[in-house]
Amino acid sequence: MDERALLLLGMLRAQSQHGYQINEFIERNLSRVTDMKKPTAYAILDRLSRDGYVRMHTEQEGNRPPRKVYSITPKGEQAFEDLLRATLARSDRFSAPGDIGLMFLTHLPRAEAIALLEQRMEDLATQRASYERAPRHDYDLGARLAIERILLHMETERGWLTGAIATLRDTPEQ
């Protein structure tokens, strides 16, 4: 039971929803927050249902294909709160992903390493621009704090990249 379950339980706490609705919302509005794919969401909902955290019943509107409607149970509400507390209380380890590449940085010619980090800086700028376009109001306090957080880390990353490139320029190869 992880963050993905927390997200699904949180969405169902707000209102009962059918699978498609849930996945649409995630794809349209939460693509920055999670990369959970549709079949994963269905799988987790199945598990949550099997374990009694959500109830599932099928509904048929007109003669469209039947929908699976999920609602949270009291046990699910409890689990949501517990998970939320656990999640908020701990700081997850900072991204290793980019670092493995860094470990091998010195295996490339210095000039190329610099060029690649400059590309990384552009990539970062693009991502950042997309975040800055996000309307800051509309969102509730939690979401605003989350956006603020990401932007601060992006600025830190930009600063670090600038420094790293300078270090590479100043340090003799080998």
Closest CA to 6 of 105, 103, 79, 102: 79
The Cα–Cα gap between 91 and 108 comes to 34
Maximum pairwise Cα distance, the chain: 72
The smaller minimum CB distance to its own copies, of residues 32 and 47, is found at: 32
What is the sign, positive or negative, of the torsion defined by CA atoms of 30, 36, 37, 43?
negative
The Cα–Cα gap between 149 and 153 comes to 6
The Cα–Cα gap between 12 and 9 comes to 5
133 binds its own copies (CB under 8 A): no
Shortest distance, position 64 Cβ to DNA, whole Å: 4
39 binds its own copies (CB under 8 A): no
170 binds its own copies (CB under 8 A): no
The smaller minimum CB distance to DNA, of residues 58 and 119, is found at: 58
82 binds its own copies (CB under 8 A): no
Shortest distance, position 112 Cβ to DNA, whole Å: 28
Site for its own copies in 87-106 (CB under 8 A): 87-106
* 2 CB neighbour count, 10 Å cutoff: 9
Give the interface with its own copies as residue ranges (CB under 8 A): 3, 6-7, 10, 13, 32-35, 80-81, 84-85, 87-108, 112-113, 116-117, 119-121, 123-124, 127, 140-143, 145-146, 148-150, 152-157, 159-160, 163-164, 167-168, 171
